[in-house]
Amino acid sequence: MEEATRLFADRGFAGTSLQDIADATGLTRPALYHYFGSKEDLLSRLVSELTEGPADELGEIRARTGATATERLRAMAFAVALRQATQPARFRVLVRSEAELPGALSKVYDQGRRRVLKEFSSVIDEGVRQGEFRPVDPRVAALGVIGLCNWVAWWHRPGGQRADQGVAEALADMAVASVARQDGRATEAGGAARVLALLKEDVALLERFLGE
């Protein structure tokens, strides 16, 4: 998988043959067939690991009982950030190969991304309803958090368990801070302007609930 990832990154999916992968791994082509029947099978495994796997993990975290929305959002952000911090090359290859994905794989990829977005949106929506989070748009906030966590794949170099976890924890804290309601419902304004700003927050939330 690592050699295939490297070759896909260097040459693109279309420019890489199964023989190239066999040569890179030191296997004969018949020996490679024992593990994968085609390069499409290899790419399918990569897509599954980077889309369906994370979606399942996030669903389990979101469904935890006894945990607050804040705790679950932090755990979800940490999981995504840590995955991207430890396997950045795989994620980058998948993004770069997006346009080359065969129809069936493209569908799996899109479904996995939608599931990830849904899990984040759901926990953020729950936090808004319970008053843990500011009255943000759950979908927009979820996209922001996902982007924050995914971007680590483009700038972080894996540096051991402690370093990778430290980066993931920092990003998870930032994700929570981006939606958390501040103590005392602080705003930058003061006096009547502060009261008006807080009222606008409440009205925005009320309008959303009434609309639903």
Q: Express each pLDDT in 52-111 by its tens digit.
A: 888 999 999 999 999 999 999 999 999 999 999 998 888 888 887 777 777 888 888 889
Look at the chain and count its residues.
212
**124 pLDDT higher than 90:** yes
Q: What is the pLDDT of residue 176?
A: 96
Residue 183 CA to residue 186 CA, distance in Å, equals: 7
- What's the rounded mean pLDDT across residues 117-137? 92
Banded pLDDT at 39 (limits 50, 70, 90): confident
**136 pLDDT higher than 70:** yes
**191 pLDDT higher than 70:** no
Domain boundaries 47-181, CATH class: mainly alpha
Dihedral-angle region of residue 160 (phi above 0 means left; psi in -120 to 50 means alpha; beta otherwise): left
> Interior CA angle at 205 toward 62 and 131, to 5°?
50
Q: Is the pTM of this model over 0.85?
A: no
Q: How far is CA 111 from the centre of its chain?
A: 13
Banded pLDDT at 150 (limits 50, 70, 90): very high
Spatial neighbors of 143 by CB under 8 A, at least 6 apart, are 117
**194 pLDDT higher than 70:** no
Q: What is the pLDDT of residue 63?
A: 95
Give the chain's mean pLDDT: 86
Q: What is the pLDDT of residue 82?
A: 95
